[in-house]
Amino acid sequence: MKAVIITVGNEILKGRTVNTNTAHIGSFLTHMGYDVLRNLVVKDDPDEIGWAFETALSVSDLVVSSGGLGPTFDDMTVPSFAKHFNIDLVANQEALSFLRHKYQEQNLQVTPERLKMAMLPAGSIAVKNNVGSAPGVFMELRGKKILILPGVPAEMKDILANASSLIGKGDLFYYEETLHLEGVMESSLAPFVSELMKKYSGKVYIKSHPLGMENNNPRLDVEVSSTGINKKEVEDAVKNAIGEIRDHWKERIGK
């Protein structure tokens, strides 16, 4: 099953905010068994947001977005999504109850701006936010699953975890291991990695991550990962490839 991640926010595009949400969501979905195809980043604009959801739905089984769920004028992900797909926004009773309780605990009024966060697409489910105010939004459309999350990382992570049962497991198994190598240049290991990739014929993916200078105290983390429908085959492929890399490294350093 395939997934696409959408990030909404001018602050992401202009570089004011680093997009850590995509890294977390991508890792979460990968370990849930989804093949994450791409990440679409769009600004706070109704047409751009609508385009992103339309594009994502055309190629995936699951779409997860973050950003644009708050009370301000530029928090427009939900209304833009609803408008694009011609879905009415309605007051979600669960979201209303949740918001009223949140603000009453703080002796704050439930203003129209705050009530805006309870206006959700008809037929959607409000996903509890234990960290902040805006609930997440889950719904099914065109036989696909959609999860809309706030952009604040702590809130996004909480709601994503709360929505795991709604998202459900994908149809793949994912496994990875990382081998740390001291005194190895990435360029020196590259030919062996290329040979190993050919040998395993796409069953594993090998990515080297340099940690030091190439010509001065070189160090590498070599990540080996695999995705497939058989858990044991996936794990065995990674472990075998890691073993071959370790043996090759020991031969080169004479140990």
Pairwise CA distance, residues 234 & 45, whole Å = 42
- Which distant-in-sequence residues (6+ apart) come within 8 Å of 240 by Cβ? none
- For 173-221, the pLDDT digits (tens) are 999 999 999 888 899 899 999 999 999 999 999 999 998 777 778 889 9
Report the chain's mean pLDDT, rounded to a whole number: 93
Handedness of CA 178, 179, 183, 188 (dihedral sign): negative
Please report the pLDDT score of residue 253 as a whole number.
61
- For 234-254, the pLDDT digits (tens) are 999 999 999 999 999 887 765
Domain match, 92 and 178 both? no
Tokens 């090998």 found at: 206
Domain match, 180 and 140 both? no
**The pairing of beta strand 119-121 with beta strand 89-91:** antiparallel
Amino acid at residue number 37: L
Domain match, 132 and 216 both? no
Mark which of 115, 143, 167 sits at the end of a domain.
167
CATH number at 142 reads: 3.40.980.10
Domain match, 207 and 154 both? no
Pairwise CA distance, residues 132 & 147, whole Å = 17
Mark which of 167, 185, 200 sits at the end of a domain.
167
Domain match, 178 and 156 both? no
Pairwise CA distance, residues 91 & 69, whole Å = 15
Q: Alpha carbon 104 to chain centroid distance?
A: 33
**Domain span at 186:** 173-253
Mark which of 132, 167, 202 sits at the end of a domain.
167
